Amino acid sequence: DVKVTQSSRYLVKRTGEKVFLECVQDMDHENMFWYRQDPGLGLRLIYFSYDVKMKEKGDIPEGYSVSREKKERFSLILESASTNQTSMYLCASKTSGNTIYFGEGSWLTVV
Amino acid sequence: DQQVKQNSPSLSVQEGRISILNCDYTNSMFDYFLWYKKYPAEGPTFLISISSIKDKNEDGRFTVFLNKSAKHLSLHIVPSQPGDSAVYFCAASAYNFNKFYFGSGTKLNVKP
């Protein structure tokens, strides 16, 4: 079974803090993704990576950056957290096939 | 502009009956479609998919229908069970499969 693990399930951060969300997958997948889920808006793509040290912007990259130093790990960084970044963040991965696999999600509240 | 739309935010169905969840898309380049199921506080789990070369794909109680001319797909669940109560997302992808576009989700409630 594919395993995508998000290390932090629930976080509360203050406005202006730097936030790291970590994601690890154990299936040697080339592609990894970060989405956020908001009510009524579905899942929106923030960034994705198709290889180590490679990244591409998704649909809502503003206020975020990513890091992929190792194939199994994809980190989402909020340089200066703001209240409008309060959301559920979902990491996902896939290989060359057609299905993406999600982690359990990280609930971030910015106060 | 959303390229994948689920116009029904919620659906309520009696146990044992059919649930039909709908999804529309605008991009004619999409050629692969997926449905995901999501319980609260969990990540989405893959349910079923369909390629644009087919118009139907079936897996147990779940069937996905694709109407390319209408740019419409639907998920049928028969018979519906209380454990099917969840949010269902449809997703679409173009040939390179590196980007998936998701709808806003439909919350299904199956009443016992």
Indicate the burial class of B109 (C-beta count within 10 angstroms; 0-12, 13-18, 19 or more). Answer: middle
Assess contact for B6 and B107: CB atoms under 8 A. no
Q: Which of A10, A15, A44 is nearest to B99 (CA)?
A: A44
Q: Name the 3-class secondary structure at B83.
A: helix
Locate B72 and state its tokens: 């419409």
Nearest C-alpha of chain B: how many angstroms from A84?
18
pLDDT tens digits in sequence order for chain B, 112 residues long? 679 999 999 999 999 999 999 999 999 999 999 999 999 888 999 999 999 999 999 999 999 999 999 999 999 999 999 999 999 999 999 866 678 899 999 999 999 9
A10 interface with B at CB cutoff 8 Å: no
Residue whose token pair is 């693990």: A5
Chain A residues within an 8 Å CB radius of B105 = 42
Rounded to an integer, what distance in angstroms lies between the CA atom of residue B99 and that of residue B78? 30
Q: Min CA distance, B14 vs chain A (Å)?
A: 24
Q: Which of A37, A26, A105 is nearest to A70 (CA)?
A: A26
Q: What is the pLDDT of residues A38-94, one digit of tens each?
A: 988 889 999 999 999 999 999 999 999 999 999 999 999 999 999 999 999 999 998
Q: Are A5 and A71 in contact (CB under 8 A)?
A: no
